[in-house]
Structure 1
Amino acid sequence: MRLKNKVVIVTGSCTGIGKAIAKRCVAEGANVVIHGLERDLGEALVADLGADRSVLHIEEITNEQAPQHLVDLAIATFGKLDAIVNNAALVASSTIQTTDLALFRKVLDVNTIAPFALLKAALPHLQAQRGCALNIGSVNAWSGEYGLMAYSVSKGALVTMTRNLGDTLHREIGVRVNQINPGWVLTERELERKREQGFADNWYTTLPPSLSPAGRMLLPDEIAAAAIYWLADESGPISGQIVDLEQFPVIGRFLPKL
């Protein structure tokens, strides 16, 4: 029970990586606040985890009061807050030609500003528990990707925020901030995106070695397993760190289009 009696907010946890992290947190002894936009999926997850171990909040993460609503719900339901996981993200296909200012601002709002806002709202409670924040970024923060211009920039900004706050908050009030950067993960949303792009349903089974040296993609449960270390006390005083979770070195590697 690596998270016994801890209380964790996981944004974007009705599906994908966030869902896997929330489930693993409960398995490790934590109580969790589930967040997202898909009420039916969120309610099903709470039913699976147990209403005594989880609670659901449905709201767009960029709403001005959403961070405070999440924090207030954690305190009202479980009495404290030990950690937050900033997982909610907008993955929007765009190049410089197709990215207008409205789209760019929307991506930054979800992927960079919302994590800052939640951390700021949670800070007094994290300080009281000497807790932590875990940001879920992307390897695109380092290398970018064709067709994910705005998304890659937003994740690069998240890296800088993690480095900055991971140092200052740790020094000043004992709150650790770290980040994991997943590579290509086989989530429900990724399956939907590829289906919308015209790919066959089994596209992920025939990936070239250049894209999946292991012969398969990363799975949400594998990201969740890594997340637990950063949320648990066993990560000790480590703060301001960025860890890439991918099958191959990212920086400088040429990748063909799928």
Structure 2
Amino acid sequence: MRLNNKVIIVTGSCTGIGKAIALRCVAEGASVVVHGLEQDLGEAVINEIEKDKGVLQIEEITNEGAPERLVELAVKTFGKLDAVVNNAAMILSSNMETTDLAFLRKVLDVNTVAPFALIKAAFPYLAKEGGCVLNIGSVNAWSGEPNLFAYSVSKGALMTMTRNLGDTLFRESGVRVNQINPGWVLTETEIQRKRSQGLKDDWYKDISSVYAPAGRILWPSEIAAAAIYWLANESGPISGQVVDLEQYPLIGRNPPKN
């Protein structure tokens, strides 16, 4: 039990990567606050969790006071708070032409500002427990796909925040802040997104080796397995680090010519 008796908030955990992380945390001995926007899906996650090991909060993370309410729920229900996983995010296609300022601000608000607000709200409790933060970024933070402009900008900003707080907070209080950058993951949202772009329902079964040398893309459970290391005590004093989770190097790799 690598997370025995720990209390962890996982935002955006009604589906996808967040759900996989929440379930894996419980399997490793933690209690979790499940958070998201879909009441039915959130209740389904809670029903998969051992009794008294999970509590659900359905609310838009950018609502005024939402971070404070998540922290309050964790402490009221379980008595403390050991870790925060900032996973909730908007993943919407956009480029320079289709991105107006209102859209960019909204994406930044969800993907970058809200994680900071939750860290700030949780900090007194994390400091008391010698806790940690795990930000869920994206390999797009390094440059970004052409049609993921706003999303990529927000994840780049999140990565810089991780580097900064991972140094300053650890020096001041022992609170570690790290980040994992998943690559292409087969989540429910990604399946729907590709379907909306006109791809066939089983598009993920036939992906070029340029993008998937393994013959498939990543599974949420694989990201969750990696997340546990950063939430567990075994990661020791490591802080301010960003780790890419993809099946090929993002930097310095040129796609083979057809």
Q: Which band: TM-score by shorter chain?
A: over 0.9
Deviant stretches of 4+, over 4 Å: none
In structure 1, what residue type is equivalent to 2:46? V
- Which residue of structure 1 lines up, in the alignment, with residue 98 of structure 2? 98
Q: Normalized against structure 2, the TM-score is what?
A: 0.98
Are 1:66 and 2:66 counterparts?
yes
SS of 2:33's equivalent in the other structure is strand
The answer on whether the counterparts of 1:135 and 1:180 sit within 8 Å (CA) in structure 2 is yes
CA distance in 2, matches of 1:197, 1:49: 34
Once the two structures are superposed, residues 176-224 of structure 1 have per-residue CA deviations (whole angstroms, 9 ceiling, x without a partner) of 0000000000000000111111110110111011010010000000000
SS of 1:143's equivalent in the other structure is coil
- Which residue of structure 1 lines up, in the alignment, with residue 191 of structure 2? 191
In structure 2, what residue type is equivalent to 1:181? N
- Which residue of structure 2 lines up, in the alignment, with residue 151 of structure 1? 151
CA distance in 1, matches of 2:193, 2:204: 12
Which segments of 5 or more consecutive residues in structure 1 lack a partner in the other structure? none
Q: Normalized against structure 1, the TM-score is what?
A: 0.98
CA distance in 1, matches of 2:255, 2:200: 21
CA distance in 2, matches of 1:235, 1:122: 20
CA distance in 2, matches of 1:224, 1:47: 19
SS of 2:142's equivalent in the other structure is helix
What's the CA shift for 1:253? Answer: 3.7
- Which residue of structure 2 lines up, in the alignment, with residue 175 of structure 1? 175
CA distance in 1, matches of 2:254, 2:137: 21
CA distance in 2, matches of 1:241, 1:95: 29
- Which residue of structure 2 lines up, in the alignment, with residue 34 of structure 1? 34
CA distance in 2, matches of 1:143, 1:109: 20
CA distance in 1, matches of 2:43, 2:171: 39
State the identity as a percent.
73
- Which residue of structure 2 lines up, in the alignment, with residue 126 of structure 1? 126
Once the two structures are superposed, residues 12-39 of structure 1 have per-residue CA deviations (whole angstroms, 9 ceiling, x without a partner) of 0000000000000000000000000010
SS of 2:62's equivalent in the other structure is coil
What's the CA shift for 1:150? Answer: 0.5
SS of 1:213's equivalent in the other structure is coil
The answer on whether the counterparts of 1:143 and 1:250 sit within 8 Å (CA) in structure 2 is no
- Which residue of structure 2 lines up, in the alignment, with residue 200 of structure 1? 200
In structure 2, what residue type is equivalent to 1:141? A
Kindly tell me: are residues 66 and 255 of structure 1, through their superposed partners in 2, closer, same or farther at Cα, counting changes over 3 Å? farther
Once the two structures are superposed, residues 137-195 of structure 1 have per-residue CA deviations (whole angstroms, 9 ceiling, x without a partner) of 00000021110000000000001000000000000011000000000000000001111
- Which residue of structure 2 lines up, in the alignment, with residue 142 of structure 1? 142
In structure 2, what residue type is equivalent to 1:157? A
Which segments of 5 or more consecutive residues in structure 2 lack a partner in the other structure? none
Are 1:24 and 2:24 counterparts?
yes
What's the CA shift for 1:4? Answer: 0.2
- Which residue of structure 1 lines up, in the alignment, with residue 15 of structure 2? 15
Kindly tell me: are residues 156 and 255 of structure 1, through their superposed partners in 2, closer, same or farther at Cα, counting changes over 3 Å? farther
Aligned residues: 256
What's the CA shift for 1:254? Answer: 4.8
